[in-house]
Structure 1
Amino acid sequence: MEALNKANTSFALDFFKHESQEDGDKNIFFSPWSISSALAAVYLGAKGNTADEMAKVLHFSRLEGTRNVTTTMKMQVHSRTGDRQSNRCVCFQKTETGKLDDIHLGFKALNVEINQPTKNYKLKSVSQLYGEKTLPFSKEYLQLAKKYYNAEPQSVDFMGAADETRREINSKVEHQTEGKIKNLLPPGSVDSLTKLVLTNVLYFKGNWATKFNAEATRQRPFKVNMHTTKSVPMMYLRDKLNWNYVESVQTDVFELPYVNNDLSMFILLPSDFTSLKKLERELTFENLSAWTSPELMEKTQMEVYLPRFNLEEKYDLKSILYRMGIQDAFIEGQADFTGISEQGELVLSQVFHECYLEVNEEGTEAAAVSSATLASRSLGATIIVVADHPFLFFIKHNKTKSILFLGRFSTP
């Protein structure tokens, strides 16, 4: 499971870097876990070069074969508490041995863990594969999709009733996400030539372990870039939190746990815009694991100022994945999905992904308002962090270490 987590996280960071280079000021928000697992269900029926390209981009090719590797990580860690600043060197070793788990068995195990019924939060992953009914799914593929992904691909009438099919898909997604995600497939996104469509959404709703003080929320300025400032409702929390300061990228890293600690939001707040660029460049699986590891973070009294915000981002993944290297899958005559349908005409027409997130005092829903300015500083033994400029964040399923959501909040 650890090897699969590394593959999924590596894909997540590749995707993030790809998007962050497109536009330095835009918000980014997506579910790498959701995209990886949805594409893995398609990869299940891919053959030849189509499968090779998918495996490379999704980092699945590294999961094949046998290996016995010990990695030693040595890091200089800086602690700030009051007027004290200390440096310590921490080493930790990780050994991965034996034949790595089959990819699809790994996803099945992760799905079971992540989708455990709980009263602590709502997490709905909705992935569905729709295929043109004149190109029927093979019985073997239907059995394997059900076995590994608990998925039931559906045959629909794109050829004879494309728009009606599109509306039905949208209606289903809206219902499954409690009305948060509407019109996932825009008008014209499917037509009579559409062969295979993958839809993928993840809806999350959870409450903080310690709620922000709603009465302390005030309107404050948020610096979008060097020239632009916007007003945001800034929330306030005083609590003992896991915290780490990463000197190499001049970034405060801290953890905001949700109820029962099943999930946590990690905030990576660089000191300024230059540090943000450096932080994004240095994002690797190894660095992210180290910066947020329990060995390096310390329980610290903190005062946190964080914007209250909503993010709803929609991605046409076809163009993004194509530029990342998954190409044959989308090209008629080159796509090889003979593991999905014995008729060799199947091609992936569209991949749609949408995520919705609301961050507020409760964790998801609440309100309050007013005005002032703040600065990050150290007050006695308390660390004060003010997220009044762009920052990165991710929501992690703590038991499996899976990154469910990853984003950059750049503009209110």
Structure 2
Amino acid sequence: MKKRFSFLLCIALTLGLLAGCSVQPSQTVQSDQNSIVQNNDIEKNDTENVNQNTIQNNSVESTKISQDVINANNRFAFNIFKQLDKEDGKQNIFISPFSISTALTMTYQGAAASTKEAMAKTLGYIGIDEAKLNDSYKNLIPYLNRLDAKVQLNISNSLWVREGENIKQDFLQANRDFFNDSVRSLDFNQENAPDQINQWISEATNKKIDKMISSPIPSDVIMYLINAIYFKGDWAKQFDPHNTFKTQFEAGNGNTDQVMMMKRTGTVEYGQGNGFQAVRLPYGSGKMAMYCILPEKDVSINDFIATLDPDRWQAIQDSIAKRDEVHLQLPRFKLEYGIKNLTGSLTALGMGEAFTGKADFSGIGANIFISRVLHKAIIEVNEEGSEAAASTVVEMKQALMANPLTFSADRPFVFIIADDETGTILFMGKLYGIK
């Protein structure tokens, strides 16, 4: 089992797949297939209990976690990471690709026609049966949440609907069933509506991310689909703070920065190959790890990132083995990335239709499109271990209704009387005015 999921777990920690907790649904839904109950009350217990693993009593069928889905998520992870590196090549980047793909897969439940096809292509779901996809997420999220008792890893999902909106029941139920979503109806016109959503995100990320939604919420926003992830893990073998020293770090822009460098010597999982060195630093019981990959000195970091894909990632993993007497030095660091609007990045990867009035989310409701996908992630790495959090918000709007076609003959016009069997024009005229 460890072999089966090591690919997902490793890319998770390399690129920021670091997770939060699941919550139970809090809103009753009408039996009517087209709408949700309009309810002003939001259960206060949900935010209080957000960091509890509420699915711990449910059975996890690990055999239903498809390797195809894991591979798709990993391909998407490299694709979105490389796309962001193209955009932000001269700055730090840190994301949770699993958070992004989870939030988008929640949205995918309501996509149809060419919009669904474009999302499937971007997310890597072409050829994957939807039942297999959903079963995988249903079991993968709780599996990850309790993978290692010595690591705190929590994945949370929530869905917020503007009060009064008609959202299809099948879409809401799918999110509850497969993503353990908390579904809530909220008056977005309330001044404190953003605060309620932001508080949920804050609680889900152990207060590491406290503001994703700004006030006021635009009047045409009808829904937010949110994933939040929180991770805290101690190194299986920690660094001694007394060995940490100040030294120089050669930044990618040519500057020399001062850093606090952690170090230890001994047995380390180390690998090297064509153009790189790598180490695997396990957390807790060793089921999760951070991989640090160092390109050769004559290779720029951006050029190296451009070569990354699942095959090269597998080669990096395969190169790693326990080696004795390795001198390991790793900077102590803390970085924050975002709030990043991923709309342009996802459009570049092929799902641009979802962000336009041509989008087909008929499985959710009429004339709905994704207006923004927002992402924020933070990480701190020190002698004890790592703490990280991320949140992805999919904001959905109601498209303006197209103006109905109008023909108003209130000015001069031509008229024709024709025989449609032969195409013979029998009469033609122009009405220029009426006396």
TM-score (norm 1): 0.73
Partner SS state of residue 178, structure 1? coil
Instruction: Tell me, yes or no, if structure 1 residue 316 matches structure 2 residue 344.
Output: no
Q: Deviation at 1:267?
A: 0.6
Q: Could you say which residue in structure 2 is the equivalent of 1:53? A: 118
The letter for the 2-side match of 1:320 is S
Which residue does the alignment assign to 2:328?
A: 304
What CA deviation, in whole Å up to 9, does each residue of 1:208-251 have, x standing for no partner? 0000111011111111136301101111122312221112xx21
Instruction: Give CA-to-partner distance per residue, 1:174-193, whole Å, 9 cap, x none.
Output: 122222111122446x3111
- The one-letter code matched in structure 2 to 1:339 is G
- Shift in Å, 1:323: 2.8
Mapped partners of 1:4, 1:266: distance in 2:
22
After the TM superposition, which of the residue ranges 118-127 and 166-175 deviates more from structure 2?
118-127
Question: Contact 2:148 / 2:287 at 8 angstroms: preserved in 1?
Answer: no
Equivalent pair of 2:154/2:229 in contact (CA under 8 Å): yes
Q: Distance in 2 between matches of 1:284 and 1:245?
A: 17
Amino acid at match of 2:322: K
**Which whole-Å CA distance do the structure 2 matches of 1:104 and 1:200 have between them?**
16
Q: Judging changes above 3 Å, is the alpha-carbon distance between structure 1 residues 287 and 117 closer, same or farther for their aligned structure 2 residues?
A: closer
Q: CA RMSD in A?
A: 2.3
Measure, in 1, the Cα distance between the counterparts of 2:103 and 2:172.
15
Q: Which residue pairs with 1:123 in the alignment?
A: 153
Q: How far 1:169 sits from its partner (Å)?
A: 0.8
Contact 1:131 1:154 in 2 (8 A): yes
Residues 1:349 and 2:371 are matched in the alignment: yes
Q: How many residues are matched? A: 323
Q: Which runs of 5+ in 1 are unaligned?
A: 65-99, 366-394, 396-403, 406-412
The answer to whether the aligner puts 1:44 opposite 2:69 as a matched pair is no
Counterparts of 1:104 and 1:236 in 2: how far apart (Å)? Answer: 43
Corresponding residue to 2:248 among 206, 217, 221: 221
Kept in 1, the 8 Å contact 2:235–2:385? The answer is yes
- Structure 1 CA distance for aligned equivalents of residues 131 and 176 of structure 2: 19
- Cα deviation code 1:64-120 (max 9, x no counterpart): 5xxxxxxxxxxxxxxxxxxxxxxxxxxxxxxxxxxx971111222211210127531
Aligned to 1:361: 383
Aligned letter for 1:324?
L
Shift of 1:346: 2.3
| More contact order relative to length (CA 8 Å, sep ≥ 6) | 1
Aligned equivalents of 2:347, 2:223: Cα separation in 1:
16
| Residue identity opposite 1:129 in structure 2 | L
- Given the alignment, which residue of 354, 359, 380 partners 1:329? 354
Give the greater-gyration-radius structure (CA).
Answer: 2
Aligned to 2:136: 106
Aligned-partner Cα distance in 2 for 1:42–1:328: 14
Distance 1:279 1:192 in 2: 44
* AA partner of residue 248 (structure 2): P
Unaligned runs of 5+ in 2: 1-65, 392-435
CA deviation vs aligned residue, 1:121-169 (integer Å, no higher than 9, x gap): 11222332323233232222222211111113333223x33x5221211
The answer to whether 1:268 aligns with 2:290 is no
Contact 1:309–1:358 at 8 Å: present in 2 too?
yes
Question: Shift of residue 172 of structure 1?
Answer: 1.6
Identity among equivalent pairs (%): 29
The DSSP-based 3-state class of the residue aligned with 1:328 is helix
Aligned to 2:234: 207
Q: Work out the CA distance in 1 between the residues paired with 2:181 and 2:356.
A: 25
- Structure 1 runs, 4 residues or longer, greater than 3 Å off: none
Give the structure-2-normalised TM-score: 0.69
Aligned-partner Cα distance in 1 for 2:272–2:82 = 22
- 2 CA distance for matches of 1:146 and 1:331? 27
